[in-house]
Amino acid sequence: QQQVKQSPQSLIVQKGGISIINCAYENTAFDYFPWYQQFPGKGPALLIAIRPDVSEKKEGRFTISFNKSAKQFSLHIMDSQPGDSATYFCAASTVSGYSTLTFGKGTMLLVSP
Amino acid sequence: DVKVTQSSRYLVKRTGEKVFLECVQDMDHENMFWYRQDPGLGLRLIYFSYDVKMKEKGDIPEGYSVSREKKERFSLILESASTNQTSMYLCASRTQGSTGNTIYFGEGSWLTVV
């Protein structure tokens, strides 16, 4: 099974700080890297995604940084807010319509007021 | 808005019972998925279906089966529930064409097997 390794398992950040979650993958054929956000009692929802033709993608306070040579990508949450407290999953796959996402094990983020 | 509905949010079943988890999506998506979510283990794929009547095993299919008789409905079946199948189960759907298409998840079904 192709793995996606995610760290840290949990993270506490003060309001206004930067939250950083890291993921590493093994399969060099992966070419789609989404992040999902899950609030308690809800299913995960797509937050932001990147393809390997760019090294960074930003949407509001959320940024994905991608390092193809290192086979690593990370999620940065700027100006973290208590409403960002959730579990975050990175994932990876090939773009082929018949492949499936491989998820990391998740990071529980708590942003303290 | 895309909606993936899991009709049973919380279930308590006895060991050995047959359990059906139902999922319906309203966006005419071809692909549907069943995941299991456990603390520290993330999301693990049980089964998926590319289209009606089709099914493929995921990473942890043992002890489970699925049924997809209609495009909008994908059922997960536990033939003989065991305590190690106590978990949260997530159904998801996606339009066919590219894995880059967004996967939409339901809110989950919490299953406790006693």
pLDDT digits (tens, 9 = 90+) for B36-60: 999 889 999 999 999 898 999 999 9
- Could you list the beta-strand ranges (E) of B7-63: 10-13, 19-21, 23-25, 31-38, 42-49, 56-57
- pLDDT for the residue B40: 87
- pLDDT for the residue B97: 66
| Mean pLDDT across B63-87 | 97
| A96, A105, A107, A108, best to mutate vs chain B, most B CBs in 10 Å | A105
| Mean pLDDT across A48-69 | 94
Q: What are phi and psi of B106, to 5 degrees?
A: -80, 180
Task: Count Cα neighbours of A110 within 13 Å in the Cβ-side half-sphere.
Answer: 5
pLDDT at A94 over 90: no
Bridge-based pairing of strands B73-78 and B4-6 is unpaired
Mean pLDDT of chain B: 93
| Mean pLDDT across A72-76 | 98
Q: Which of A37, A51, A99 is nearest to B48 (CA)?
A: A99
| Mean pLDDT across A23-35 | 93
Which of chain B's residues have a Cβ under 8 Å away from the Cβ of A49? Answer: 100
Digit-coded pLDDT (tens) for A11-28: 999 999 999 999 999 999
The reply to whether A28 touches chain B by the CB within 8 Å rule is: no
- pLDDT for the residue B101: 75
Bridge-based pairing of strands B109-113 and B10-13 is parallel
Which of chain B's residues have a Cβ under 8 Å away from the Cβ of A43? Answer: 4, 90, 92, 105-108
And the tokens for A73? Answer: 């990508």
Mean pLDDT of chain A: 93
Q: Which chain B residues have any C-beta within 8 angstroms of a chain A C-beta?
A: 4, 33, 40-45, 48, 50, 58-59, 90, 92, 96-100, 102-108
Question: Would you list the DSSP string of chain A?
Answer: ---EEEE-SEEEEETTS-EEEEEEE--TT--BEEEEEE-TTS--EEEEEE-TT-SEEEETTEEEEEETTTTEEEEEESS--GGG-EEEEEEEB-S-TT---EE---EEEEEE-
Q: Which of A31, A22, A78 is nearest to A52 (CA)?
A: A31
Q: Which residues, 6+ apart, have CB-to-CB distance to A60 below 8 Å?
A: none
Cβ(A110)–Cβ(A47) under 8 Å? no
- pLDDT for the residue B98: 59
**Touching B: A residues 37-66, CB under 8 Å:** 41-46, 49, 51
- pLDDT for the residue A34: 94
Which of chain B's residues have a Cβ under 8 Å away from the Cβ of A103? Answer: 42-44
Task: pLDDT band for A97, please (50, 70, 90 cuts).
Answer: low
- pLDDT for the residue A16: 97
Q: Which of A51, A96, A101 is the closest to B103 by Cβ?
A: A101
CB spacing of B59 vs A1 below 8 angstroms:
yes
Task: pLDDT band for B96, please (50, 70, 90 cuts).
Answer: confident
Residue type, B70: K
pLDDT at B99 over 70: no
Digit-coded pLDDT (tens) for B102-113: 889 999 999 999
pLDDT at A2 over 60: no
pLDDT at B68 over 90: yes
